[in-house]
Amino acid sequence: MLSSKHLRPVLQPCSSAGMPCEAQLAQAFRSRRQLHCSAATAEALTEPSTSAPAVAKTERRKRVLSGVQPTGQLHLGNYMGAIRNWVNLQEQYDTFYCVVDLHAITAPHDPVELRAATRSVAATYMAAGIDPAKASIFVQSHVTAHAELNWLLECVTPIGWLNRMIQFKEKARKQGEDVRAGLMTYPVLMAADILLYQADLVPVGEDQKQHLELTRDIAERMNGLYGGKKWKKRGGRGGNIFKVPEPLIPPAGARIMSLQDGSSKMSKSAENDASRINLTDSPDAIRNKVKRCKTDSFTHLEWDNAERPEATNLLTLYQLSTSKTKDEVLSDIEGKNWGAFKPMLADALIAHLEPIQSKYAAIMADPSHVDDVLDKGAAAAAETANATLNLVKDAMGFVVPKRVY
């Protein structure tokens, strides 16, 4: 297997904001596209020439895909439960991180806000430490294969599978008669997102495990209906069409809870802004939210007591913000009550977010740089996505185009 120094081109910053210059970034993405193509060419639809010498197949690293919707403001739950973990994954895996804007329109949306939030989420990825030289950062709608594969998968997914999705039932109750068809079928689009890149692993929280199970079911159904020996007999490659992905759940902080209800997940859609700490909140706003967050009637602090969800949540936030071990956290809070602990937590959160906020401001000050990263990321992602899409079309009996239009 290639070492990381061969897989990842190294960029040196060319500006005070630490952004790579355009020539370096272009070269980095050309290298990434070559690596993505190596996996696809091993599965090409055309037969190799018998007169040509055999070419050794390049072994690729395991692949990870994930993304966040550009709706509302990103908060600590998005960052500590997902984005922060992605930063480490880019060192170990071949990573694709998209801004899932197509998922953002399953409910009424403001076009102006969607456009601004899309760039904001991409900038947050980079500010948090995701390096466009190591990971493909792109917008979902920029790679048209997502929408096309979604339709192909919808045509083989039983409606009964979608009726069982818990999140659809919960959101449909809130939307009433105005509930949209896309809200029911978006788990199929999520499956298309994952399967397009033949992802080995998908970082998911506990609330997304059902969607990943649906993705696995769809992959196995497609493999059974159109893959294997039947595909081979039709003149195709044969074997499985899709890799069946596995969940990747971080051991801590996978589910950050509301500051107002320790039993409910921190959410962008919650009406009460005091229930979450947004990544762009000022130090004063963070102190006020922590000061007013819900606790319990016990004077001492305690971890992992099911009857004290707020205590566990706030201690988890402190641990993740300080990168301390559990024993170190317990030592810090020994003999302290809620009144003494809350300022400690606020200080830890402010110190942890300050460098992210500074880098975010620098990135957002140059929108053309953000657009350039997204453009090159989409080109790299499309190499892999279109190769998979052509495999699916061939297996299902479509005439595969010689080029992408």
Known catalytic residues are 171, 265, 268
Backbone angles phi, psi at 279, to 5 degrees: -65, -20
Kindly give, in sequence order, each residue whose CB lies less than 8 Å from that of residue 162, ignoring residues fewer than 6 positions away.
168, 184, 185, 187, 188, 214
Kindly give, in sequence order, each residue whose CB lies less than 8 Å from that of residue 244, ignoring residues fewer than 6 positions away.
216, 219, 220, 223
Distance CA 242, CA 35 (A): 19
Secondary element (H or E) of residue 179: none
Distance CA 90, CA 69 (A): 20
Distance CA 187, CA 96 (A): 19
The Cβ of residue 41 has, within 10 Å, a number of other Cβ atoms equal to: 14
The Cβ of residue 209 has, within 10 Å, a number of other Cβ atoms equal to: 13
Secondary element (H or E) of residue 291: helix 283-291
Distance CA 356, CA 126 (A): 9
Of 96, 115, 194, 106, which is closest to residue 150 (Cα–Cα)? 194
The Cβ of residue 299 has, within 10 Å, a number of other Cβ atoms equal to: 10
Kindly give, in sequence order, each residue whose CB lies less than 8 Å from that of residue 110, ignoring residues fewer than 6 positions away.
none
Distance CA 386, CA 198 (A): 12
**Is residue 270 left, alpha or beta, with left meaning phi > 0 and alpha meaning psi from -120 to 50?**
beta
Secondary element (H or E) of residue 187: helix 181-196
Of 78, 85, 81, 35, which is closest to residue 59 (Cα–Cα)? 35
